[in-house]
Amino acid sequence: MLDHIFMRCPNNERCDKNMASRKNVFMTIRFCVSTVFHKTVNMKSYLCSGLIIGACLAAPTASQATLSFVGRGYVILDANGGGNSYYNVDNSSDHSTASYSSTLGGLTIQQGQSLYIGGNVQTYQPGTGTTTWIGYKLYKGATLISENDNISLSYNGAAPYPNGNNDDWEKLASASGVNVDNSLSSGTYTLQVWFGANNGGTTIYDSNNNNNYSATFDVTAVPEPVTLALPIFGGLMVTAGLARRFVFRTAEQAV
């Protein structure tokens, strides 16, 4: 009669313990109901069944289970308004997105240009009350330039991959990301990132075993006005020289 309450868990790998707990709950409820209706009815039987059934129905279900996973993350960067670029942090099954490592494919910005950061990550178990975030630290050499340890991500529905059982969270860099700094001097910078999630009293991290995920990018100096003018000046000189030769040849032909 109560079998419809105990549906098969959608994720066998992570719900074995939960299924075992449900089975015990079902057996206990069946015993109490049998005691009430198939034996002598008395106040103690009602009390026993009421207490146990109430406690069993209040037990956590799959959607209320403890937060146990945060991962499959992406760092999202927008360099000077160029749009969102995704970098795969730890999704080993994604072979098409650039990896968040090394030099980010040669990412370079000029002094004064912006670099916005956002992120995408998955959590399990699904349920209410979960919050997620991406944090970063920006270094030049060993010097910490800027940091933000709690850039909140918004709920983005059920993650379609790998099996639809995880929750998906995202903040696009171009829409609402955080500018790591737009007053950087020229040089090479290291951007360290990590992800976190919290539900109730449980907080977990995806931080490359506490080492954070790291990648570098370059900031180049803005060319001086004189430097910019040299190619223009050179082009004018060449044009003037060609024009002068043309005038002389025309004059010679006229004679």
Please say if the pLDDT value at position 151 is more than 80: yes
The CATH number given to whatever domain includes residue 118 is 2.60.40.10
Domain co-membership, 120 together with 136: yes
**Quick one: 245 and 170 in the same domain?**
no
**In this structure, are 93 and 160 located in the same domain?**
yes
Say what the pLDDT of residue 42 is: 55
Per-residue pLDDT, 117: 98
pLDDT in tens, 158-173: 998 878 899 999 999 9
- Find the domain containing 135 and state its range: 69-220
- How many Å is the Cα radius of gyration of the chain? 32
Q: Is the pLDDT of residue 108 over 60?
A: yes
Q: Which pLDDT belongs to residue 161?
A: 82
Residues 204 and 255 in one domain: no
Place of tokens 């001097």: 185
What pLDDT was estimated at residue 175?
A: 85
- Are 114 and 204 part of one and the same domain? yes
Query: What is the pLDDT of the chain when averaged over all its residues?
Result: 77
Q: Do 189 and 73 fall into the same domain?
A: yes
Digit-coded pLDDT (tens) for 213-227: 999 999 999 887 654
Residues 23 and 133 in one domain: no
Rounded average pLDDT over 164-192: 94
**Ranges 26-30, 54-58, 148-152, 223-227, most confident:** 148-152
CA-based nearest residue to 70, from 16, 120, 124, 111: 124
Split into its structural domains, the chain has a count of 3
| Percent of the chain at pLDDT exceeding 90 | 51
Closest by Cα among 137, 155, 148, 135 to 199: 155
- Whether residues 75 and 173 share a domain: the answer is yes
